[in-house]
Structure 1
């Protein structure tokens, strides 16, 4: 915020000059706490294109002749983190078996009933298709369910959750697939905080626990040499409500997904939406991306999709139920590629689709 007649390059976090929604006239750039946390108004009129949201860390080049307004002439975002590369070298003639993955996101009950009919349909699909891994994201006991909102429930939320888990674990026993459960902010029986700790399932037998993995929201998994980023929190919807853009030419989903990868975070929006109860102490340890995943699973209320964004396959499987009717899930077939001779990562070969239940 010091006056300067020459062009300068500055690093800071985008924020809004009021409590309202960000717009082209309300953009501030805030220095980090190590630099004193100073704020300066930003004039975007000289930028040919931009896409900004509160919390985004950017580098801007420009002039601040008066000390009051920084006139930006160039805007730079960060680079995504490297992809995972295995230290174990695959032989060139060694071909790993393709990995079959099914992905579904709750709610798993129709809005007018506490029965698991859509979930039973999904279990039928799992038994038929026999995937190696099922990634199942919450909500499993949805706080926005009509019956729960109206307090028309005759059993505890924990009992409903246990019934749901038993249906899935017992119903897929014949398949032997590995089950991964991700909690959601909308799971009424679970901790209402982000990042969110894994579920606990003390009732599982020893045989069952061998094929069940309970993870946090968000999390990064390594499955057969392929990395998956998972989050059940609708960051896509949250950023799309706050983002401002001009002249970018790209579609909104791809822009936001690229922001997540270049900001290296599962939740780069700051401040977060009001309904998100953020634990800032845990945020740095559990909500940052340790690497760029090969596959990013990012369920949203926005329309389902499969997109390749800077080499990362991003999948919104949609929700298994939409009100009183069935929704969608996703399935993938992934063939891991051998590393090149210089040890560089080779993208896995991946076929993905979103399917109506």
Structure 2
């Protein structure tokens, strides 16, 4: 299980949202009678996997599949000498550049992925925060547009853009120029030992999300 804790801080009161990204392995259905025996926590919302959700002004995209690990095993690249490139954020840039939660085909062996619903892996808008839980080293990085726009398909809508922009006119929607915060919270538990989780705080205000967000990857 992976865990993300969001604090959406408001001027009058604070609101905490905890996102639990469960294992992506297939599970046996429990049935309605078993499901009714578990009480649902207040304000709990079940979302599909992957999902793009709006939390007030914040747009968050998440997928529980270990995309970073799959990309790491399939990418072949060489960094020129003297060039400072961080490998894990560079892997995450493929998701944004190809506007897909899983930009690999065929999928890695053992991946729980129904290719008949492959279209649902597309990113509908550019998120402010992209959650990519992985077995690789946890991190929280800022990806500027230059990291993923080169070679990426155009037409990715800006989060919070005017409804209908670029639709029905033959013109592609505008491409977001805002950086994206990419987070790998790691695993909440590693065997019998504790793992890591991400604590995200978004402060109120009219400034861009980039200037109001703080991310900490904490160890259990």
**Same fold by TM-score, threshold 0.5 exceeded?**
yes
Inter-CA distance 356–262: structure 2 relative to 1 (3 Å threshold): same
Inter-CA distance 332–281: structure 2 relative to 1 (3 Å threshold): same
Residues 114-133 of structure 1 correspond to what in structure 2 (within 5 A)?
Answer: 132-133=16-17
Give the equivalent residue in structure 1 for 2:153: none
Residues 97-246 of structure 1 correspond to what in structure 2 (within 5 A)?
Answer: 105=2, 132-139=16-23, 185-189=24-28, 201-203=35-37, 208=40, 211-246=43-78
Give the equivalent residue in structure 2 for 1:347: 209
Report the RMSD for the aligned CA atoms in angstroms. 2.6
Q: Greater Rg, structure 1 or structure 2?
A: 1
Inter-CA distance 245–337: structure 2 relative to 1 (3 Å threshold): farther
How many residues are treated as equivalent by the alignment? 170
Structure 1 runs, 4 residues or longer, greater than 6 Å off: none
Give the equivalent residue in structure 2 for 1:338: 206
Inter-CA distance 267–325: structure 2 relative to 1 (3 Å threshold): same
Native 8 Å contact 1:221 1:227 kept in 2? yes
Inter-CA distance 287–190: structure 2 relative to 1 (3 Å threshold): farther
CA–CA separation in structure 1 for the residues paired with 2:28 and 2:192: 22
The offset of 1:246, in angstroms, is 1.7
Inter-CA distance 187–271: structure 2 relative to 1 (3 Å threshold): closer
Give the equivalent residue in structure 1 for 2:151: none
CA–CA separation in structure 2 for the residues paired with 1:322 and 1:209: 25
Inter-CA distance 275–190: structure 2 relative to 1 (3 Å threshold): farther
Residue in structure 2 matching 1:255, options 65, 87, 90: 90
Native 8 Å contact 1:236 1:256 kept in 2? yes
Native 8 Å contact 2:138 2:184 kept in 1? yes
Inter-CA distance 188–136: structure 2 relative to 1 (3 Å threshold): same
- TM-score normalised by L of structure 2: 0.69
Summarize deviations over 1:71-103 as a string: whole Å, max 9, x none: xxxxxxxxxxxxxxxxxxxxxxxxxxxxxxxxx
Residue in structure 2 matching 1:302, options 118, 133, 136: 136
Summarize deviations over 1:216-257 as a string: whole Å, max 9, x none: 111101002100111110000000001011236312111111
Query: Structure 2: which 5+ residue stretches go unaligned?
Result: 6-13, 145-178
Native 8 Å contact 2:25 2:112 kept in 1? no
CA–CA separation in structure 2 for the residues paired with 1:268 and 1:309: 17
Q: Which stretch of structure 1 is more off in the superposition, 271-280 or 287-296?
A: 271-280
Give the equivalent residue in structure 1 for 2:190: 322
Summarize deviations over 1:133-168 as a string: whole Å, max 9, x none: 0001112xxxxxxxxxxxxxxxxxxxxxxxxxxxxx
2:121 is the counterpart of 1:287: yes
Summarize deviations over 1:241-297 as a string: whole Å, max 9, x none: 01011236312111111111010010001111121243233120x211011111111
Inter-CA distance 190–276: structure 2 relative to 1 (3 Å threshold): farther
